Structure 1
Amino acid sequence: MRILGVIPARYASTRFPAKPLVDIAGKSMIQRVYEQVKKASGISAVVVATDNTIIFDHVKSFGGDVCMTKESHVSGTDRCFEALSLQKDIYDYVINIQGDEPFIQPSQIELLVSRLNGKTEIATLIKAIDNATQLFNPNLVKVVISKLNEALYFSRATIPHLRNIPEAEWLTKHTFYKHIGMYAYRADILQQLTILPVSSLEKAESLEQLRWLENGFKIMVAETAEETVGIDTPEDLKHALNLITSHEL
């Protein structure tokens, strides 16, 4: 089983321009992500997929593999497929690793790899929610799953809704899950995903994975107990710097 790890890295960002290049205790964010992915067993190769020559040159400077992709891509999924198409080798699966999670754990990537058996179309990670702030945060994507460990639905709303139970008690009555946005795609499925039109549910929630569910694709989930720290804003960066100081990440 050959697996390609792809780290999409755009330069433009409304909330945080040039985010992949920000310094986190002596290393850029994209370098930290790259190095974490390289530690994971089961990954055959890792490549940064960017649309910017500055990021391209920076990745080259620390010895990373990188490819230039189109600026016009509207999602990391599309950028991953172009990165796959630029490779000389053949891969069975592609894992899309978020370029703004410098503390992603190799064990989380390995957990996702463990779900790839040739039959799995798409796989992703989930984590149990343990506090009300996350549970009712519309910026945090929640997911409900089947007994077969497949995603049934993703939403920014708190799902499922526990009828006739006070919200203060919800976490004691049901296990809620949040979505961790790292995906593995079987190579042939990835190609199919890139030609799907935007769906109604996707428009409603602004969640690309709902397009896949609407079109009948199955998303296998694996539960991790490890937290991730995404950096979307300069304020998130301050939090990350505190983490790296206290935990020596």
Structure 2
Amino acid sequence: MSVVIIIPARYASSRFPGKPLVELTGSDGIPKTLIQRTWETATSVSGISDIFVATDDDRIAAKVHEFGGKVIMTSETCANGTERCAEALDSLDRVPDLIVNLQGDAPLTPPWFLEDLIEAMSARSDMSVATPVLRCDHQTYSHFKDDRAAGRVGGTTAVFARDGSALYFSKEVLPYLPEGKDVEPLPVFHHVGVYAYRPAALGRYSGWTEGPLEANEGLEQLRFLENGEAILCVEVDARGRLFWELNNPVDVARIEEVL
């Protein structure tokens, strides 16, 4: 099965303008941009045919070329990463069996998250879209609660059925847990900002308009659910590593600590 990773990246983020070019310093003391660290995550995934950054911004494109990456220029009208992936797909010389959307703000994504996602899609020919979910540990759950208490929109939670099909995604912390109630394991799942699509699913997505759920939550994957397209939630194991995306400036310190 041929698999291409596309990393959508835009400069004009409402919560964090210029986010792909923010520098993150790891234990080696070397500052690297967010987009470069995400690219390096993609290169560590096994079984990938090719990797591209899809952007509409010349500054991001120049930085990607600087570290040796490949770029597909897309239009400024793309409303989200899925639309950008759909447009980038049209520029590929050969249509792959699977397109993996690795969000450009997730440098802590372990490569096995993507590998598990690809394996799940290989086994489930009935599904056209899949995304990883990670059961929250208490540290991640506290990050969610702290962000909401401070009025920040942080990560996304996922609720899904017994067969793995998504029921809903939200920037609220779902499901609700009563204060002071000790629940083990935590039934809250962090949605990992990665998607795998079959090409036909991206084609259908491009033909749909934004619905009210997507508009209010600001979550692109809800367009699939609003149009009756099932999404397979694939539970992944962090293997002791903290996972968090760079959503707000406060997340820089959180991510650098893990790096």
TM bin, normalised by shorter chain, reads: 0.7 to 0.9
| Shift in alpha-carbon separation, 1:74–1:170, aligned structure 2, 3 A | farther
* SS of equivalent to 1:169: coil
**C-alpha distance after superposition, 1:43-88 (max 9, x if no partner):** 2111000111121122112111111111111110110111111111
Q: Which aligned pairs between 1:193-232 and structure 2 lie closer than 5 A?
A: 193-226=205-238, 227-232=242-247
1:133 is matched with 142
* SS of equivalent to 2:250: helix
The answer to whether residue 60 in structure 2 is matched with residue 55 in structure 1 is yes
- 1:203 CA displacement: 3.0
CA distance in 2, matches of 1:198, 1:130: 33
Of 71, 78, 84, which residue of structure 2 is paired with 1:66?
71
- 1:161 CA displacement: 4.4
Query: Which amino acid in the other structure matches residue 32 of structure 2?
Result: K
Greater alpha carbon shift after TM alignment, 23-32 vs 135-144: 135-144
The answer to whether residue 9 in structure 2 is matched with residue 4 in structure 1 is no
CA distance in 2, matches of 1:16, 1:210: 22
The answer (yes or no) to whether the contact 2:6–2:53 under 8 Å persists in 1 is yes
1:247 is matched with none
CA distance in 1, matches of 2:186, 2:41: 33
| Shift in alpha-carbon separation, 1:35–1:153, aligned structure 2, 3 A | same
1:120 is matched with 127
In the alignment of these two chains, the number of paired residues is 241
Structure 1: gaps spanning 5 or more residues? 245-249
| Shift in alpha-carbon separation, 1:101–1:158, aligned structure 2, 3 A | closer
Query: Which amino acid in the other structure matches residue 8 of structure 2?
Result: P
Structure 2: gaps spanning 5 or more residues? 26-30
The answer to whether residue 165 in structure 2 is matched with residue 150 in structure 1 is yes
The answer (yes or no) to whether the contact 1:42–1:113 under 8 Å persists in 2 is no
The answer (yes or no) to whether the contact 1:60–1:66 under 8 Å persists in 2 is yes
The answer (yes or no) to whether the contact 2:137–2:186 under 8 Å persists in 1 is no
The answer (yes or no) to whether the contact 1:129–1:135 under 8 Å persists in 2 is no
The answer to whether residue 103 in structure 2 is matched with residue 98 in structure 1 is yes
- 1:133 CA displacement: 2.5
TM, length-normalised to structure 2: 0.85
* SS of equivalent to 2:8: strand
Greater alpha carbon shift after TM alignment, 221-230 vs 137-146: 137-146
| Shift in alpha-carbon separation, 1:44–1:74, aligned structure 2, 3 A | same
* SS of equivalent to 1:196: coil
Greater alpha carbon shift after TM alignment, 141-150 vs 76-85: 141-150
| Shift in alpha-carbon separation, 1:173–1:127, aligned structure 2, 3 A | closer
TM, length-normalised to structure 1: 0.88
- Give the share of equivalent positions with the same residue, in percent: 37
CA RMSD in angstroms comes to: 2.1
| Shift in alpha-carbon separation, 1:10–1:204, aligned structure 2, 3 A | closer
| Shift in alpha-carbon separation, 1:61–1:215, aligned structure 2, 3 A | same
Query: Which amino acid in the other structure matches residue 53 of structure 1?
Result: D
